[in-house]
Amino acid sequence: MNEGPYTHQASDSAYHFTAAALRAGHEIVRVFFYHDGVNNGTRLSVPPQDDRNVSERWSELANEHGVELILCVAAAQRRGLLDEDEAKRAGKDSNNMAPGFQISGLGQLIDAGIQADRLVVFGD
Amino acid sequence: MNEGPYTHQASDSAYHFTAAALRAGHEIVRVFFYHDGVNNGTRLSVPPQDDRNVSERWSELANEHGVELILCVAAAQRRGLLDEDEAKRAGKDSNNMAPGFQISGLGQLIDAGIQADRLVVFGD
Amino acid sequence: MSVLHIINKSPYDRSSLDTCLRLAQPDSAILLIEDGIYAVQKNAAAAQKVEQALANHQIYALQPDLEARGINPDNMIDGIALVDYDGFVKLTTDYDKSQSWL
Amino acid sequence: MSVLHIINKSPYDRSSLDTCLRLAQPDSAILLIEDGIYAVQKNAAAAQKVEQALANHQIYALQPDLEARGINPDNMIDGIALVDYDGFVKLTTDYDKSQSWL
Amino acid sequence: MATKKFLYVNRTAPHGSIYAQESLEVVLIAAAFEQDVSLAFIDDGVYQLMQNQDTSGIGSKNFSPTYKALGDYDVSKIYVEQESLELRGLGKDDLMPLTYEDEDDDWAEKDSIHVVSSKELAEIIDQQDVILNF
Amino acid sequence: MATKKFLYVNRTAPHGSIYAQESLEVVLIAAAFEQDVSLAFIDDGVYQLMQNQDTSGIGSKNFSPTYKALGDYDVSKIYVEQESLELRGLGKDDLMPLTYEDEDDDWAEKDSIHVVSSKELAEIIDQQDVILNF
C-alpha cells in the first residue's frame, strides 16, 4: 500500500480488496504500508462528517479480523508518523499512530512476499 | 504547494524558489499548502541524518524571514495535520503541527492570488 | 505462470497501459481499476489498441470504478468483462501472480 | 499578457508537455523543471516536438534539476537556455503570470 | 480590492485522486471574493463533468452534483477543450448540463459550458491574471 | 524457507519523486532474505541508472552511487528494456557500469546490466513468483 489516504484512490482500493478477500475466507498475511502509504496510519485525521474515515477503517480491520497493519519505519520517520516508542526515541513531544498499526522494518514486506501465496500492490 | 515532503520534489522546488525570491529582495505574501502539501507542516518528521529536513527548512523561513506558511484547514483535517486548538476541538489527544505554520481557510489562497503580483504553483 | 496485469491510470495521461501491452505475454490478463477504467470507452483514441489487445488477453474492468466515473456500460468496448471487488480477489487467485503497473 | 509555462513531468510518462505545446501562445515561454528536464535530450523521441516548439517559444531548463538527473549539457537540444533558481525567480517576473501544467 | 481574472485549470480525472474534488472546494470558496472566475477542463479533467457518476461502490464522496451549484455561485464561464473530449470519444451530451441565470438578461437560464477549440482556449489562458492548477 | 523469484519493477524517474530511492532501499534489505532477485528498469525507470547524477543543486540525497553496491549484495540480474532506452535517446554507455563478482567463475567481475528487448523482458516477468512495483 504505497499511497496516503484521500489523495489517491489506492488506499480505498486496497481496503475494499482486503475486505473482499476476508469475505472470501482468505487469510491476509499482512498489509504493508510504504512510501506515502504510511500516512494511512495516523489517528489525527478528522475527515468531513459525510466522508469515510480511511485510517479508522484500517484500524477496524485490525481490530475485528486481526489483520496485521505494518508501517515501514524508515518511510514513517521521514513523513512524521510515529508511535509512542519512536517518538520518545526521537525526542518528539507527541505521536500520532492509530490503534492497530505497528511500526516495523522493510524486511516485513519481503517476508510477506515469501509467506503469502499472492502479493498485490496498490499505489499511484 | 500541493504535495507533501520527500515523496515529490515539489516541496524542494518550492523551497528553493522561495529562498531565491527572498534573496532577490522580493516579498513573499504567503506560502499556501494544499492537498498533500499540508504534510509539510508536521513537526514529527525524523529524516535520516544525511538527508534534508523539509519541514524544519520551511519553519526556518518563517522564523528568519517572517514568511507566512498557511495550511488549508480542510485539507489538513482530512490528512491528520492538527495544531493544538484544532486537536482540542476535534477531541484528539495530540497534535503535530510544526512551528511557523498556521492553519487557515482556503480563502487565504484566493486572497494571496489577489494581493500578490505573481502566483506560482508547485505540485505533482 | 500467467500474470494478472493491473492498470490504474488513464491511457491518456500515463504510459502504463502502453507498457503493459508491450510486455504482457499472450496468456496473461489485464484488469482495469481506478482511472485505468477510462480505457474501456468505445470510439475513443485508446479504443483501437484495447480492441487489438482483446485478441490476446482477457480484459476485465472493476464495476464500482466504472460506475464512479459515470461511464455507461453500453459505451464499453465489446468483450471487456465487469467484475466487482469479490471478482477482483478471485482474479488474483485465478492467475499465478499480479503485476501492478504503477 | 505573456505566460511562463512550467512543465515538471517527463514527456514520456505524462501528457503535460503535449498539452502545453497545444495551448501555449507563440509569445509564451516554457520552463522545464524536475522530471520535465527529460524533454531536453537530443536524439530522443520527444526531441522533434521540442525543436519545433523552439521556433515559437523560449525554452528554459533548470540547471540544478538537469545536474541531478545526470544529463550532459552537450546532449541538450540546441537553443534551450539553462537557468538556476535565481533565474527561475527572474523568469516569473519577466512574464506576466505562470501556468504550472500539473 | 482589485478584481483579477482567475482561471482554475483542471486536468485530472475525478475519484482516482482528490485533486478534482479539492479544486472544486477552492472554486466555491473563491466565489465569495467576487473575482472574475473561469474554469478550464482539459485532458482527463473533462471526465470531472461526466453525467451519472455514482461512487456508492467505492465508498468515497460523490462530489459531482456540486458542479451543478456553480451557477448559483456566479461561476458561469466553464470552458471544456473540444480536442480533449474528442480524443476520449466524448461529446457535450456526455457531460452534466451546467447552467446559470443571467442577471443582465432577465435571469434567463443559460448554458455555462462552452466547448472551445485549443486555439480559443489558448487565448483564454493568455487573458488571465492568476492561473491555479490542480 | 522457500526461495522465490522476486522481481522489482522500476518505471519511475529518480529525484522527481522518491519511488526510485525507496525502491532501492527495499532491494538492499531484500538481499538479506536470500531470494532470487531480479530488477527491471522500464520506461522512465531507466533514468535511475544515468551516470553523473549530482543532486547538490537540489539539496536532496544523491542515492545513485548506491546502485553500484548492488553487486556486493548479490543482486546481479539487472534488466534494462532496450525500447525504453532507445525512445529516450540513450544507450548502455549513458548508464552507470554495474558489476558483480561471479563466485561460480573464480570471482570474475561481470556486467550486471542486461539490456533486453521487450520480448525477452516479457518472458522474464512471466517467470517470477512475486512482482513488486514502484
What tens digit of pLDDT does each residue of E77-92 get? 999 999 999 999 999 9
Residue A3 maps to a domain = no
Q: Indicate contact of F with E: 3+ CB pairs under 8 A.
A: no
Rounded CA separation F131/F126 (Å): 10
Give CATH superfamily name and number for C3-101: DsrEFH-like (3.40.1260.10)
Q: Tell if the CB–CB gap between B12 and F58 is shorter than 8 Å.
A: yes
Which neighbouring-strand residues pair with F109? Answer: F101
Is this complex scored with an ipTM above 0.90? yes
Across F43-56, average pLDDT: 98
Buried-state track C58-93, b at ≥16 Cβ within 10 A, e below 16? bbbbbbbbbbbbbbeeeebbeebebbebebbbebbe
F15 close to D (CB below 8 A)? yes
Closest residue to B120, CB basis, from D34, D86, D100 = D100
By the 8 A CB rule, do C81 and A104 touch? no
Retrieve residue C75's grid coordinates: 459505451
Rounded CA separation B32/B37 (Å): 8
Structure confidence at residue E31 as a pLDDT band (50, 70, 90): confident
pLDDT > 90 fraction of chain B, expressed in percent and rounded: 100
Q: Which residues from chain A sit within 8 angstroms of residue E17, using beta carbons? A: 7-9, 124
Q: Is the pLDDT of residue E1 over 90?
A: no
Q: Which residues from chain A sit within 8 angstroms of residue E16, using beta carbons? A: 8-9
Q: Which residues from chain E sit within 8 angstroms of residue A50, using beta carbons? A: 61
Across E56-72, average pLDDT: 96
Q: Which residues from chain E sit within 8 angstroms of residue A12, using beta carbons? A: 58-60
D13 close to C (CB below 8 A)? yes
Residue B124 maps to a domain = no
Q: Which chain B residue's Cα is nearest to D62?
A: B13
Q: Is the pLDDT of residue D1 over 80?
A: no
Q: CB burial class (10 A; 0-12, 13-18, 19+) of residue E66?
A: middle
Catalytic residue among A14, A38, A67, A72: A72
Q: Is the dihedral of CA A13, A15, A19, A25 positive or negative?
A: positive
Question: Could you say which residues of chain C have pLDDT below 50?
Answer: none
Structure confidence at residue B14 as a pLDDT band (50, 70, 90): very high
* Alpha helices per DSSP H over chain C: 16-23, 47-53, 63-68, 85-94
Retrieve residue F107's grid coordinates: 570471482
Q: Where do the structural domains in chain E lie, given as residue ranges?
A: 5-133
Among left, alpha and beta (phi > 0; psi -120 to 50; other), residue B100 is: left
pLDDT > 70 fraction of chain B, expressed in percent and rounded: 100
Identify the H or E element spanning D91: helix D85-94
> How far F101 CA lies from chain D's nearest CA (Å)?
27
Structure confidence at residue F31 as a pLDDT band (50, 70, 90): confident
Candidates D13, D35, D101: best to mutate against C (most CBs of C within 10 A) is D13
DSSP letter at D69 equals: T
Q: Is the pLDDT of residue A122 over 90?
A: yes
Q: Quote the pLDDT of residue F2.
A: 72
A7 close to C (CB below 8 A)? no
A66 vs A32, A54, C12, E13, CA distance in Å?
Answer: 14, 17, 40, 35
F68 close to D (CB below 8 A)? no
Q: Quote the pLDDT of residue F118.
A: 98
DSSP letter at B50 equals: T
E9 close to D (CB below 8 A)? yes
Q: Tell if the CB–CB gap between A78 and B35 is shorter than 8 Å.
A: no
Give CATH superfamily name and number for F5-133: DsrEFH-like (3.40.1260.10)
> How far C48 CA lies from chain A's nearest CA (Å)?
25
Retrieve residue D77's grid coordinates: 537540444
Pairing of strands C29-32, C59-62: parallel
Closest residue to C12, CB basis, from D12, D13, D15 = D15
Q: Quote the pLDDT of residue D49.
A: 98
Q: Quote the pLDDT of residue C1.
A: 61
Closest residue to F16, CB basis, from B6, B9, B48 = B9
Rounded CA separation A118/A110 (Å): 12
pTM over 0.95: yes
> How far A6 CA lies from chain E's nearest CA (Å)?
6
Across D6-24, average pLDDT: 98
Q: What is the number of structural domains in chain A? A: 1
Q: Which chains touch D (3 or more CB pairs under 8 A)?
A: B, C, E, F
Structure confidence at residue B8 as a pLDDT band (50, 70, 90): very high
Structure confidence at residue A52 as a pLDDT band (50, 70, 90): very high
Q: Quote the pLDDT of residue E113.
A: 98
**Mean pLDDT estimate for chain F:** 96
Tens digit of pLDDT for each residue in A95-111?
999 999 999 999 999 99
Structure confidence at residue E58 as a pLDDT band (50, 70, 90): very high
Closest residue to A16, CB basis, from E15, E18, E59 = E59
Rounded CA separation A123/C33 (Å): 11
Q: Which chains touch A (3 or more CB pairs under 8 A)?
A: B, C, E, F
Q: Which chain D residue's Cα is nearest to B9?
A: D34
**Residue B26: CB atoms within 10 Å:** 16
Across F100-118, average pLDDT: 96
For residue B102, the domain's CATH number is 3.40.1260.10
Q: Quote the pLDDT of residue F1.
A: 58
Q: Which chain A residue's Cα is nearest to B83?
A: A44
Q: Tell if the CB–CB gap between F130 and A121 is shorter than 8 Å.
A: no
Rounded CA separation B116/B112 (Å): 6
Tens digit of pLDDT for each residue in E97-110?
999 999 999 999 99
Q: Which chains touch F (3 or more CB pairs under 8 A)?
A: A, B, C, D
By the 8 A CB rule, do C68 and E54 touch? yes
C102 close to F (CB below 8 A)? yes
**Mean pLDDT estimate for chain A:** 98
Q: Which residues from chain E sit within 8 angstroms of residue C64, using beta carbons? A: 57-58
Among this protein's residues, is A72 annotated catalytic?
A: yes
